[in-house]
Chain A
């Protein structure tokens, strides 16, 4: 039994659209270890959700092409699995929680039944047993009056309660991996914290590995032990929580950190947004995808893709600033004035 439960290697995903082929995910690599929480962070459109959905193989088959790479779960490449084999993985081994709890439950099916459905698919339980199990799950995720609420429809629940139901569905068969795609984005701030606490709590009880996908670094601090930063379909930087927060190397990560509000920050210090908008992935030019928005952009960045450089054993980054020929950049102040780090750590 290896330490790694799921690994994605050099994954390329593209879509056929009216406006030509869009390369949504390009050469994405990451490993998920048993019991850990990995966060994938990036702006909308950076390919986070596509990566998640390709692990579950939930992307529309006709328009999606997985051109290259592998997704290895327990030493098996999921990309070689047939539809039937995949159905046995989904929900039982790997589960997924979607972004918007308002739309991720079937509006015309009773909540209880939606939980029971997954249980009955993977476990040989009688109707009665599955029903009881579903009720237990709803209690577990903190739904009051679970017994009565089994017969309610999704629209009778609040957003936070719905997300609890979705989590109950995802955890129904004790999956080894849970992929949470922006699980708190659509919720109120107070509810967000509750849902995150619930997920942490459940992880402690079940030992599930979690991939949490988010654009909100606040969520990451609370949950993740490792972080992968995605930009325009590529992972630009990976590292442990500490490495990303205290020793970030990629200008995009700096930007993300600068644009994040901080608890102890003086209100008069303005947040610094990242200038420009994410590139149109259907129309990418050569070179680093962040070049157009990067404040430290160099000639080389426009035409050459930077290689992945190891900063430490757990920390890697793809940026030309890592090259010894690059000028030394004084890292911007994104920690609220505590300390300034030089880029060149070597």
Chain B
């Protein structure tokens, strides 16, 4: 083989021939934009992609679910009370309209109109509609709360980190005290004052929720302020705009997005938690928390009432956590394990 290779090497190959400028560059580095690279890494992460898909599917169902059948979320129908789930075609999965004792309730109660895919509650309200309506409300609460957290947290954290000195000292003392109180207790106290309702839940969540975001942002700003690459890139003559896009934005936006991804499930958890201990939304409004609470009360005889909303809330929580992890890894390759 060596001999063959020798033969190909002819005398005319021994002339000076450097690589063209462009080609040398191309070989030594392949510049890809930060975001494209991050996105590429994210899509390589199967868990994160699954999480993203699940979130999209659940969001679509939260909007479309309640109008997929003819039942309204607060339509009561005593004839249809406590119907177990029945999905034609999926009987083999246990969704066959029978209760724990194997009795077909549809036949027993003579229900002939459209089956309840996820069963009904004791007032005959359709659970499929109610669970997706509840998901809609839970997601709405979480998104609004996360958005407010983001706004307050970014402004507070950036101000604190940017001004530094005395201002930072005072602002951080306030934060320390807020962190000193277990946040759930503060949330409960605020709910007690504000009376349960969507707005008061959102406000109560925001009261403690922004602190975390502000700490992240402050930390990043402080770190960036002192970092050499910012100085170096200034010294190399980068314009402010370049500096902003190349260094500050990727370094601050990354952690903010990741924090946001973890804020949303936390908000969903607290909303459900409050509803579960009786401080949540009042009927006939439903959220995932109130549905789980209702289902839990009748779990012994009508387990499906608990299981369906429990699966939905768990799926949301898992998806956001996995997506958050994936985003963190994708945006901060240093942290990748």
Q: Please, which residues of chain B bring their CB within 8 A of the CB of A298?
A: 13-17
Report the nearest B residue to A275, measured CB to CB.
Answer: B24
Q: A320-343 vs B: 1/0 string, CB under 8 Å?
A: 100101110000000000000000
Please report the C-alpha to C-alpha distance between residue A299 and residue B17 in the assembled complex, in whole angstroms. Answer: 5
Number of interface residues of A (CB under 8 A): 23
- CB-contacts of B70-117 with A (<8 A): none
Q: Quick check: B14 and A297 within 8 Å, CB to CB?
A: no
**A308 / chain B contacts, CB cutoff of 8 Å:** none
Question: Is A277 positioned at the interface, with any CB of B under 8 Å from its CB?
Answer: yes
The interface residues of chain A lying within 8 Å CB-to-CB of B15 are 298-299, 327
Q: Give the complex CA separation of A293 and B17 in angstroms.
A: 12
**B249: Cβ under 8 A from any A Cβ:** no
- From 268 to 326 in chain A, residues with beta carbon under 8 angstroms from any chain B beta carbon are 276-277, 279-280, 283, 285, 291-293, 295-300, 302, 304, 320, 323, 325-326
Q: Which residues of A contact B24 (CB under 8 A)?
A: 276, 292-293
A18 to B337, CA, bound (A): 11
In the assembled complex, the Cα of A295 lies from the Cα of B19 at a distance in Å of: 10
Contact pick for B9, options A276, A285, A292, A300, CB 8 Å: A300
State whether A299 touches B13 (Cβ < 8 A). yes
On chain A, the residues within 8 Å of B180 by CB distance are none
Complex: how many Å from CA A295 to CA B17? 9
Closest chain A residue, CB of each to CB of B25: A276
Which B residues lie within 8 Å of A300 (CB)?
9, 13-14
Q: How far is the CA of A217 from the CA of B17 in the complex (A)?
A: 30
Contact of B27 with A297 in the complex, beta carbons under 8 Å: no
Partner of B16 from the list A276, A277, A327 (CB cut-off 8 Å) is A327
Contacts of B29 in A (CB 8 A): 277, 280
Cα of A71 to Cα of B9 in the assembled complex, Å: 33
Q: Kindly report which residue of chain A lies nearest to residue B17, judged by CB atoms.
A: A299
The reply to whether A292 and B14 form a contact with Cβ atoms under 8 Å apart is: no
**Nearest CB of B to A257, in Å:** 21
Q: Residues 1-37 of chain B: 1 if any A CB is under 8 Å from the residue's CB, otherwise 0?
A: 0000100110111111111000010011100000000
B28: chain A residues at CB < 8 Å are 276-277, 279-280, 292
* Interface contact A296-B16, CB-CB below 8 Å: yes
B40 CB, min distance to chain A CBs, angstroms: 10
- Interface residues in B181-201 (C-beta closer than 8 Å to A): none
A329's nearest neighbour on chain B, judged by CB, is B16
Interface majority SS (helix, strand, loop, mixed), chain A: loop
Q: Could you say which residues of chain B place their CB within 8 Å of the CB of A304? A: 5, 8-9, 13
The answer for the CA separation of A346 and B19 in the assembled complex, in Å, is 29
CA distance A304 to B15 in the complex (A): 14
Given A277-B28, A279-B28, A304-B5, also A292-B19 (CB < 8 A): yes
Chain A residue contacts of B12, Cβ below 8 A: 299
The digit string for A143-166, where 1 denotes a CB below 8 A from any CB of B, is 000000000000000000000000
Q: How far is the CA of A106 from the CA of B237 in the complex (A)?
A: 42
Q: Could you tell me the distance between the alpha carbons of A197 and B5 in the complex, rounded to whole angstroms?
A: 48
Q: How far is the CA of A97 from the CA of B24 in the complex (A)?
A: 37
Cα A309 to Cα B44 in complex, Å, equals 45
Contacting pair A292 B27 (CB below 8 A)? yes
A291 & B19 in contact (Cβ 8 Å cutoff) = yes
Known contacts A300-B9, A304-B5; A325/B27 CB under 8 A: no
How far does the alpha carbon of A291 sit from the alpha carbon of B28 in the complex, in Å?
Answer: 12
Question: Contacting A297 at CB < 8 Å: which of B5, B8, B19?
Answer: B19
Residue from B9, B14, B27, B336 in contact with A327 in the complex, judged by beta carbons closer than 8 Å: B14
User: Chain B contacts of A323 at CB under 8 A?
Assistant: 14
CA distance A298 to B17 in the complex (A): 5
User: In the assembly, what is the distance between CA of A338 and CA of B68, in Å?
Assistant: 90
Q: In the complex, which residues of chain B have a beta carbon less than 8 angstroms from the beta carbon of A299?
A: 12-15, 17
Contact of B14 among A280, A293, A320 (CB under 8 A): A320
Complex alpha-carbon distance, A8 and B29, angstroms: 32
Q: A325 contacts B11, CB within 8 Å? A: yes
Q: Within the assembled complex, what's the spacing in Å between the Cα atoms of A276 and B29?
A: 10
Contacts of A296 in B (CB 8 A): 16
Interface residues of A in 41-99 (CB under 8 A from B): none
CA of A142 to CA of B44, assembled, Å: 52
Q: Pick the contact of A326 from B14, B18, B336 — CB < 8 Å?
A: B14
User: Chain B nearest CB: distance from A318 CB in Å?
Assistant: 14
* CB-CB nearest 4 A-B residue pairs: A300-B13, A299-B13, A325-B14, A299-B17
- Listed by A's residue number, 10 A-B pairs whose Cβ atoms lie within 8 Å are A18-B336, A276-B28, A279-B28, A297-B17, A298-B16, A298-B17, A299-B12, A304-B9, A326-B14, A327-B15
User: Beyond A295-B18, A325-B11: 18 further Cβ-contacts under 8 Å?
Assistant: A18-B44, A18-B336, A276-B24, A277-B28, A279-B28, A291-B19, A292-B19, A292-B28, A298-B14, A298-B15, A299-B15, A300-B13, A302-B17, A304-B5, A304-B9, A325-B14, A326-B14, A327-B16
